[in-house]
Structure 1
Amino acid sequence: MAESRPTPEPRPTPEPQASSHASSHSTSFDPWSPGFVADPYPAYAELRERGRLHYFEPSRQWLVPHHADVSALLRDRRLGRTYLHRFTHEEFGRTPPPEAHEPFHILNGNGLLDLEAPDHTRIRRLISKAFTPRTVEVLAPTVRRLAAELVDGLCAAGGGDLLAEVAEPLPVAVIAEMLGVPAADRALLRPWSADMCAMYELNPTEDAARRAVLSSLEFTAYLRELIAARRAAPGGDLLSALIAAQDAGDRLSEQEMISTCALLLNAGHEATVNTTVNGWWTLFRHPEQLAALRSGEVSLSTAVEELLRYDTPLQMFERWVLDDIEIDGTLVPRGAELALLFGSANRDPARFDRPDTVDLSRPDNPHVTFGAGIHYCLGAALGRLELGASFGELLRRAPTLRLVAEPEWKPGYVIRGVKELLVEM
């Protein structure tokens, strides 16, 4: 799944130019407010009603709330996930990140998510030779087995925290299986990912940056050792396939392989975890829809798409303006940053009928949860496989699953999810 770019450095964005169309930010849009994080959708409706573009001074970004604009701008080559392929930080009017943050930015900046052509094109082509639809298809029995084992454990205990017992362990186990990470080392992956993903939030703290740097160093060192082992003794795992992947003699560098593995862990499982728990929280609040799903009245695959749309795990996706662009009569200058509001786009009444209603049988569902354009989520098929497996096993093995207590939301807005989801049978 596509994720937001880390932004720890100051944002000296050019001030918004006067326009009869764009507006200054709405006071109800407050990504640091617990109330907003718990339910951002009324604020999104207000933004959509007020216009297509809004300047948000606290993060110095232009908010884009409409589905049509978000979809188009994801594909617009005047925008980029990085600007360093064309400009220095200084040329772009930006302050370079602190030197102490460099290990994080090296790890993050060499992954597909934060690259543009020609590097993005080359690396995605090489990765695609290893990460094929067939790779995902072969994984299906393993994913279902892992999901069944986790759900069995939850059932044997009579319930517990669905997030900790099922939602989190499944994608970590799957990516570990894919990369050939020994079972004894898998407990390391989730903390590393959580620390690094904290940098994707708006204006992360220096403490968050320190943790992300430490985890980046530890994860990089671990992967270097694992790559060396696979070079010496290749196996049938994805890491061995990445080492072997080549096109016209071109290969992935070691740093590109390390960054790819980190991206698969971070982008893949953070979204899957939050879609699982947010999705069950949605189902518990809409018992008639849950009953229809349990009875087989609606298909699981269609239901998963609706849960991905209704409560989007990634609320915002940021892109830099590489060349001046006009949106609804407003000139957004080079050096500015657009914040594409996925959560708002997925609730836009101009594109979705009754967007605030959960309809697990919704037939027309062009949500933007996995992004679009060249940064469309490479692991979308794997994410859907994991979600189908975990929801399917819970529906089959825990037909009386019910909520124990209303969950509390984590403070993060960009990657949005609850702290725990306590359930019982």
Structure 2
Amino acid sequence: MTPQQPSASPASPTLSPAAAAATALFRPWDPGFVADPYPAYDALRDAGRAHWFAPTGQWLIPHHDDVSALLRDRRLGRTYLHRFSHEEFGRQAPPPEHEPFTTLNGEGMLDLEDPAHGRIRRLVAKAFTPRMVEDLAPTVRRLAAELVGSLYADGGGDLLARVAEPLPVAVIAEMLGVPPADRGLLRPWSAAITGMFELNPGAEAAALAVRASEEFSAYLRGLIAARRRDPGEDLISALIAAHDGGDVLSEQEMVSTCVLLLNAGHEATVNSTVLGWLQLFRHPGQLELLAREPGRLGDAVEEMFRYDTPLQMFERWVLDDIEVGGQVVPHGSEVALLFGSANRDPARFPDPARFDITRPAAGNRHVTFGAGIHYCLGAPLARLELAASFGTFLREAPGLRLVEEPRWRPGYVIRGPEELLVTW
């Protein structure tokens, strides 16, 4: 995910009255909007297919079919540096004081384009295999049972801090081979680094991200060195061993891959768990149905991903002029693909504002995991973790209730509550 900086567009058009009114509702720094952005999305979809948003210098894309198509369109990219210099593209280079965050983020496959992206993804896929995810399943279920059991024994508490957060951290730590004593380091590093993916991050966010990037990178380099000397059954050992002909991952590519797995997988899974429970609490009939018919859990998890996705926005650079709904979006622009809006588009989903766990997963074509070459590599693991967590609650600790509506964290791009207080 590319850190956002306000910037001038190659064209700053005059908005129609309907578009101006709709973009006025798009207030990503407003707590009320963060808590419920969906009315603004409705207005944006009604007003058109591409809207210039001056505060961030981006084109907002709210419709499902456009979002899906632009995720796959090779005239756009997560980076432009495979074709242009910063100067040629009309953008400023990241400031030197943002190192090593810039390198750490820039060498991750989520922010690369082919051929670099394809090369790294092929190598990572040789290590992070479906078999590895399958082998993790017993561990995921055991950890979920321990965490849910502890919360249940205490009669309740903060589900985010007690279950949603520690489960994916423990799973990713187990996968990477991070010793239990060091696992408390991972969440603070992840939170600091992903702070740079919000809109227009400030100097304080940058300083925290730089420090976390330094510390996390140094830690992983030490872990990689240890696995080179003494390989194990963990993902880092598999990344070291991965090869495609004579090609192997560099140390920086391994470090960036491990950080990406933590940041993208962990942050999304934590918020998906909390947002999923919040919707079940707000729709008690759906919770009762799921408790009666646990076989619907797979469909329910996909509906949770659709209905309230934790990743609300995904940005891409426009490498060649494109047209969206009759609006030319010129080379050098940036588009903001609104995943939350796409997942509520009535042109794609019948009655999209209805939370319905009976929607068949096979037809639930949400864009929460992206599409195209950047489709989330960790999607199977996220599905496994949510199914294990929700299944354990429903089976072993039924009757969970919400204590109070949560407060929301200020971030919009990666969106979620600060806590989720529950009881029995």
TM-score over 0.5 for the alignment? yes
Match of 2:10 among 14, 22, 42: 14
CA distance in 2, matches of 1:75, 1:126: 21
Q: 1:209 to 1:273 in 2, by over 3 A?
A: same
Q: What RMSD over aligned residues (CA atoms) do the two structures have, in Å?
A: 1.3
Do the aligned residues in 1 keep the contact of 2:15 with 2:52 (CA within 8 Å)?
Answer: no
**Alignment correspondent of 1:177:** 174
Do the aligned residues in 2 keep the contact of 1:298 with 1:361 (CA within 8 Å)?
Answer: no
Shift of 1:421: 0.2
Gaps of 5+ in 1: none
Do the aligned residues in 2 keep the contact of 1:75 with 1:372 (CA within 8 Å)?
Answer: yes
Do the aligned residues in 2 keep the contact of 1:21 with 1:330 (CA within 8 Å)?
Answer: no
User: Is 1:319 the counterpart of 2:300 in the alignment?
Assistant: no
CA distance in 1, matches of 2:250, 2:261: 17
User: Is 1:158 the counterpart of 2:162 in the alignment?
Assistant: no
**Alignment correspondent of 1:339:** 336
User: Is 1:399 the counterpart of 2:398 in the alignment?
Assistant: yes
Amino acid at match of 2:188: P
Is the partner of 1:255 in helix, strand or coil?
helix
Matches within 5 A, 1:77-116: 77-116=74-113
CA distance in 2, matches of 1:10, 1:329: 25
Shift of 1:13: 2.2
Q: Deviations over 1:349-396 (max 9, x none)?
A: 000000000110102210000000000000000000001011111111
CA distance in 2, matches of 1:22, 1:118: 41
CA distance in 1, matches of 2:18, 2:52: 7
**Alignment correspondent of 1:26:** 23
**Alignment correspondent of 1:284:** 281
Match of 2:137 among 122, 140, 145: 140
**Alignment correspondent of 1:204:** 201
Shift of 1:22: 9.8
CA distance in 1, matches of 2:166, 2:320: 42
Match of 2:165 among 168, 189, 194: 168
CA distance in 2, matches of 1:154, 1:401: 11
Matches within 5 A, 1:44-55: 44-55=41-52
**Alignment correspondent of 1:423:** 422
Do the aligned residues in 1 keep the contact of 2:11 with 2:330 (CA within 8 Å)?
Answer: no
**Alignment correspondent of 1:124:** 121
Do the aligned residues in 1 keep the contact of 2:13 with 2:52 (CA within 8 Å)?
Answer: no
Is the partner of 1:12 in helix, strand or coil?
coil
Shift of 1:85: 1.0
Do the aligned residues in 2 keep the contact of 1:22 with 1:54 (CA within 8 Å)?
Answer: no
Is the partner of 1:317 in helix, strand or coil?
strand
Q: 1:330 to 1:22 in 2, by over 3 A?
A: farther
Match of 1:240 among 237, 240, 243: 237
CA distance in 2, matches of 1:84, 1:61: 19
CA distance in 2, matches of 1:58, 1:255: 34
Q: Deviations over 1:120-170 (max 9, x none)?
A: 000000000011111100110000001111101101111000000000000
Is the partner of 1:326 in helix, strand or coil?
strand
**Alignment correspondent of 1:303:** 300
Do the aligned residues in 2 keep the contact of 1:70 with 1:341 (CA within 8 Å)?
Answer: yes
Match of 1:218 among 215, 219, 238: 215
Q: 1:224 to 1:351 in 2, by over 3 A?
A: same
Do the aligned residues in 1 keep the contact of 2:313 with 2:339 (CA within 8 Å)?
Answer: yes
CA distance in 1, matches of 2:348, 2:387: 25
CA distance in 2, matches of 1:213, 1:29: 29
Q: 1:22 to 1:287 in 2, by over 3 A?
A: closer
User: Is 1:251 the counterpart of 2:248 in the alignment?
Assistant: yes
Shift of 1:223: 0.3
Shift of 1:214: 0.1
Amino acid at match of 1:15: A
Do the aligned residues in 2 keep the contact of 1:21 with 1:53 (CA within 8 Å)?
Answer: no
Amino acid at match of 2:254: M
Shift of 1:6: 1.2
**Alignment correspondent of 1:372:** 371
Amino acid at match of 1:41: Y
Give me the TM-score of the superposition, normalised by structure 1: 0.97
Is the partner of 1:308 in helix, strand or coil?
helix
Amino acid at match of 1:422: L
CA distance in 2, matches of 1:164, 1:267: 18
Aligned pair count? 421
Do the aligned residues in 2 keep the contact of 1:22 with 1:53 (CA within 8 Å)?
Answer: no
Q: Deviations over 1:7-43 (max 9, x none)?
A: 2x44232223468899446211100000000000000
Amino acid at match of 2:355: V
Higher relative contact order (CA 8 A, sep 6+): 1
CA distance in 1, matches of 2:417, 2:16: 39
Do the aligned residues in 2 keep the contact of 1:321 with 1:335 (CA within 8 Å)?
Answer: yes
Give 1 or 2: higher helix fraction.
2
CA distance in 1, matches of 2:415, 2:14: 33
Q: 1:286 to 1:298 in 2, by over 3 A?
A: farther
Match of 1:230 among 227, 230, 234: 227
Give me the TM-score of the superposition, normalised by structure 2: 0.97
Shift of 1:90: 1.1
